Amino acid sequence: MMTRRRSRLVRAIFTALATTATASAFAATLDGQVQGGGVPIANSTVTLWSASAGSPKQLAQAKTGADGRFAFNAPDAADKGDTLYLVAKGGISAANKAGGDNLAIVLMTALGGKPPATVTINEMTTVASVWTHNQFINGTAIQGQPLQLKIAAGNVPNFVDLASGGWGKAIQDALNSTQSPTMANFATLANVLAGCVTRVKPNACQSLFAAATALDGRVPGDTLAAATSIARAPWHQPQKVFALLDEFYPVPAGKKMPRATPFAPYLTFAPSSWVLPLRFTGGGYYAGGKLMFDSQGNVWAASNFQVGAQAQDYFWQGGVAKFAPDGTPLSPMTTGFTGGGLLGPGFGLAIDAKDNAWMTSFAGNNNVALFGNDGKPLSPPEGWNFGGKLSNMQGIIVTPSGDVWAADTVGSQLVHFPKGDPSKGRVLCQNPGGDPLKNPCKLLLPFAFAIDQKDNIWVTNILGSHVTRFSNGDPTKAETFKTGYSGSGIAVDSLGNVWVTNKLGNSERGRLKMLEMAIAGKVNYDGEPDATSRLTRVMVEAMYTQKPGPEGGSITVLRPDGSEASFSPVYGRGITGPWAVSVDGNDNIWISNFSSATAGIVQLCGFRTENCPPGMKTGDAISPPGGYVGGGLQLQVDIGVGPAGDVWVTNNWQDTASCYGKPDETISTRCGGQGVVVFFGMAKPVRTPLIGPARPQ
């Protein structure tokens, strides 16, 4: 080890040699250390880069001393819209007994717009930086739009502490540390990278590169490339990477003791995929329903229930929660945003071009409400309820022309605000007789909306085996197209194809369960106040007992003209109780499952098969057989893709046994789902807010 005086002298020399843009722009000294396997890496070349929409710019460079430390002048903050990151190449690990420069070492730390005073570059910062920036990394270059880079860099501290290179705050909190395998997934990845960095075996790097070989056969040549290859196809032969744990850090023969890994905890058995989801809560979130992104990537989530309540008496009593892109709650802790007539939103949430949030109330105040982006209600205290003509409401959509449509689900009627003007609002498809089978717009408890490239509006039906399509502004000229039973989510891809989730699938079982729902709810004929709860209970129990396969839920895929695709319906492939569907910027499809805590989210190959793994066809599952799991997933409702490629999922229900009657007191507040789950960097980003079909960011 060098003396402190000599170390300061060396860093001063490195600072003088560092390449900088202008002296005035670099007002702070950035001190850091490069580590591998928890020990210093000497003689590593560290480069400070500025990432933007263009090619990265090199700002400074230095070499590490024997203690792995470096220092150079750094900007107080990156240029507007840029983010900073560090790359360390090569060097000699203090743990490498063979010595010599290891050219396979390439490590990274993403810093964001403002660098900290001290920083560590190691395997953990590399994993965190790669997974959050998965959509923006090419070799050692990071490139993306300002908002994308801001979001990606802002999520790195959720995984690691930039100063120490140790665990970050979110990944080790109570929601994530013991409730999810994410910590073990993360540390295992860091351990296998460390095996190459420290050369625990002479051929450790070759073993890593072989295990991380890409789908196209491309073999990585350094640790950063290996991490990137794994992140790009986390489902591809995960057992090969996991096997390195035993190869690099075997348990001593005849001894019962932990592996001598540099990072812990590590996995005991291979994961189904190398995903690193985290869960966030707060801001009044409880039993999340619909979620939407605003223009800044903030997430709004409808909360079905009231935080802290025994939900048997508080179904549909919640407000709306808002989260920053890094999961920080932006709404009041317990209540969320309230007022404006909102009470108990479900799947009714849409963000308009001004970042205002339109919402509906289900089994609460039976109305439409509006909030500004600051969370202040813009609708009157009673909302817009058309003199009490509305009943239990669900879906709502903002069209590219600015119109707002909402579904009065139990009333089987629609609300229309032309150009988003409540003063011109009207109720359409009214059926005074109350029999939805005679609905003039062919609606059977309408639930969710989508709009295609021709301004046709598509509507799913809870008690139907069809979707309804009508041209914008004229729902009386409705057409219907056959689907599976009990339609739920719906989305249109960039080619105009329509993807519909059928909660009860296409089997005879599904038809009978849907009939049972209709009988239980009596379609509200008798006006009993608990009719909706009865219908909901039958639906939930039917979905909870479903298994993937012909008897489970399904996806109907319709061509733009309404004809069914040859491979439709899609079932199995991890699809259990599909609720929502979302399209990413590659036209690949993401599906949530409201069924059990073991069900994952599903990714399907879309119509642009050039964006799918080699050999896959439209409708094939990209995700593992059980979907992507972990992160504390519960019974899910909505799924959405943000501007940085992060996939957000709402946990809606948690423990069905606590939702009805008088459950055991100890579980009486555990009906509602806990937290939103975020899968980082998994999807091709889309523009937000989502108005119309998804468009690449």
For residues 257-277, give the mean pLDDT. 96
Question: Where along the chain do its domains lie?
Answer: 1-274, 278-679
Q: Are 394 and 347 in contact (CB under 8 A)?
A: yes
Read out DSSP for 310-361?
-TTS-TT---EEEE-TTS-B-S-TTT-B-BTTB----S-EEE-TTS-EEEE-
Given pLDDT bands bounded at 50, 70 and 90, which one contains residue 313?
low
pLDDT at 283: 98
Please write the tens of the pLDDT for every residue from 349-377.
999 999 999 999 987 789 999 999 999 99
Please write the tens of the pLDDT for every residue from 573-604.
999 999 999 999 999 999 999 998 889 999 99
Given pLDDT bands bounded at 50, 70 and 90, which one contains residue 314?
low
Q: Are 468 and 458 in contact (CB under 8 A)?
A: yes
Distances, alpha carbon 283 to alpha carbons 151, 157, 244, 372, in Å? 19, 20, 41, 16
For residues 224-235, give the mean pLDDT. 98
Residue 26 has pLDDT above 70, yes or no: no
Residue 291 has pLDDT above 60, yes or no: yes
Residue 310 has pLDDT above 90, yes or no: no
pLDDT at 600: 97
Helix 204-211 and helix 238-248: axis angle, to 10°? Answer: 160
Least confident of 91-95, 209-213, 531-535, 540-544: 531-535
Cα–Cα distance, 484 to 680 (Å, whole number)? 32
Given pLDDT bands bounded at 50, 70 and 90, which one contains residue 21?
very low
Residue 8 has pLDDT above 70, yes or no: no
Given pLDDT bands bounded at 50, 70 and 90, which one contains residue 27?
low
For residues 26-40, give the mean pLDDT. 89
pLDDT at 642: 97
Partners of 368 in beta bridges: 360, 384
The pTM of this model reads: 0.95
Least confident of 364-368, 506-510, 638-642: 364-368
Cα–Cα distance, 591 to 557 (Å, whole number)? 13
pLDDT at 355: 98
pLDDT at 12: 43
Measured from the Cβ of residue 13, the count of other Cβ atoms closer than 10 Å reads 14
Helix ranges, 65-181 (H) = 123-132, 146-155
Phi-psi region of 573 (alpha: psi -120 to 50; beta: other; left: phi over 0): left
> Can you tell me which residue has the tokens 């468009």?
695
Cα–Cα distance, 28 to 118 (Å, whole number)? 11
pLDDT at 3: 45
Tokens matching residue 77: 């903050």
Mean pLDDT of the chain: 92
Given pLDDT bands bounded at 50, 70 and 90, which one contains residue 530?
low
Least confident of 127-136, 304-313, 420-429, 614-623: 304-313
For residues 473-501, give the mean pLDDT. 95
pLDDT at 609: 98
May I ask the CATH architecture of the domain 278-679? Answer: 6 Propeller (2.120)
Higher-pLDDT residue of 127, 114? 127
For residues 656-660, give the mean pLDDT. 86
Determine what percent of the chain is predicted with pLDDT higher than 90.
Answer: 82
Q: Are 331 and 283 in contact (CB under 8 A)?
A: yes
Tell me the torsion sign for CA atoms 426, 431, 435, 438. Answer: negative
pLDDT at 7: 47
pLDDT at 523: 52
pLDDT at 316: 75
Q: Are 462 and 409 in contact (CB under 8 A)?
A: yes
Q: How many helices (H) and strands (E) does the chain have?
A: 9, 35
For residues 470-490, give the mean pLDDT. 92
Given pLDDT bands bounded at 50, 70 and 90, which one contains residue 435?
confident
Cα–Cα distance, 27 to 404 (Å, whole number)? 50
pLDDT at 532: 76
> Can you tell me which residue has the tokens 């070492």?
105
Helix 531-544 and helix 508-521: axis angle, to 10°? Answer: 160
Which element (helix H / strand E) includes 520?
helix 508-521
pLDDT at 2: 43
Partners of 450 in beta bridges: 458
Q: Which residues contact 387 (CB under 8 A, 6 or more apart)?
A: none
**Beta strands at 320-323 and 299-303: parallel, antiparallel or unpaired:** antiparallel
Q: Are 321 and 288 in contact (CB under 8 A)?
A: yes
For residues 297-312, give the mean pLDDT. 92
